[in-house]
Amino acid sequence: MSSSSGSTKWFPNGSIKIELFCYPTATALLLDYELVQSVKPLSSGVFVMNLFMQMVFPIITATCTINEFQWPLTKDTHVIRIGKHTFVFCILGVVFAFQFTGVTEEVNFMQGIIGVFMNYGQYKEHGVGIDEENPLFWSVAQPLAESMAHDMLLWLGHQPGRSHFSLLCHNNCSTRATRLSAATKIVTKAITSGTLLPAHISIQGGGTNDDESQNPYSASPSIEVFTCLVDALEISWLMSGGMLPSIRTHMQRLRSTHPPACNKIWKLNEIGLEAFLKGLDSTSEHEADEVVLLPVPPPTYKGKGKEKVNTLDFVDVNERRKSKRRSR
């Protein structure tokens, strides 16, 4: 049985986690970009959509979760309904789908899930001319879904296809999907822990009408918040293998060409990106769930020369726990 509303959890730092939607059985599938197209399972289990709201500064973040696999829902992420209960997410470097099974309350279910997609993402419907029950569904649907996803990404100024940093056997689509999940968890933990600060973000776009100015939670994240972190992990991996000389020469490739118009969005600025990268630089995607931002004040300046003091830090929770044990 589906649910369009759920629990609300408040955090001491002024953030909220709200369950927007929940359904008990769903499967996430990777539409792989390898030489031989394939559809690979990513995760199966309960599907949950959550909204994270930071009260101190006007940002929100919506996420989708199936079991341990998590991904963002943003205003510059296209969601395409290609089947009765099948949806495709278009994200730079990785295209994946998810399907609901055992749907019985058809009207309520569709109203709930589509309503959330329309509020927090870019939602479209485009059937592929074959029923999901047909065993040939994905052989027909995958190339059509990828073509539609590429059109959407081009509209946003992205170069569709595999990641720019997918070289030889490194940084394949499956790994990128795993890192996207880890990056999503890192960002949401930074919001709920209160360690993502106003100094880390910039808010762009949006109108100036009265309705919007009275809504303090109108800034949604750009997908760049998450893909920049994934790109940085890929660059770091190639650097460790001697295939890239420096991350700085590739930083401009972590930015999109055309941010979405008419939406108020937030991104990590240089200070915020640096704070996250310091942790990601020494942390693999398998350890990403155990990495959190510590409170980081904005850069300070002292002395006559106004010398900048680097106050950015990023700490592995496991290391912090080891330090506590040693101190005992």
Residue ranges of the domains in the chain?
8-327
**Residue 38 pLDDT:** 80
Question: Candidates 2.30.29.30, 2.60.130.10, 3.20.20.10, 2.40.170.20; correct CATH number of 8-327?
Answer: 2.30.29.30
User: 44-53, 219-228, 319-328 — which is least confidently predicted?
Assistant: 319-328
**Residue 97 pLDDT:** 93
Evaluate if residue 169 carries a pLDDT over 50. yes
**Residue 300 pLDDT:** 36
User: 62-71, 109-118, 156-165, 307-316 — which is least confidently predicted?
Assistant: 307-316
Mean pLDDT, the chain, rounded, equals 75
**Residue 255 pLDDT:** 52
pLDDT higher at 133 or 280 = 133
Answer whether 187's CB lies under 8 Å from 196's CB. Answer: yes
**Residue 150 pLDDT:** 84
Confidence of residue 310 (pLDDT cuts 50, 70, 90): very low
CA distance 101 to 129: 19
Residue with tokens 């589509």: 114
Instruction: Give the pair of three-digit tokens for residue 147.
Output: 């073509």
Does pTM top 0.85 for this prediction? no
Strands 94-100 and 15-32: antiparallel
What's the rounded mean pLDDT across residues 177-201?
A: 91
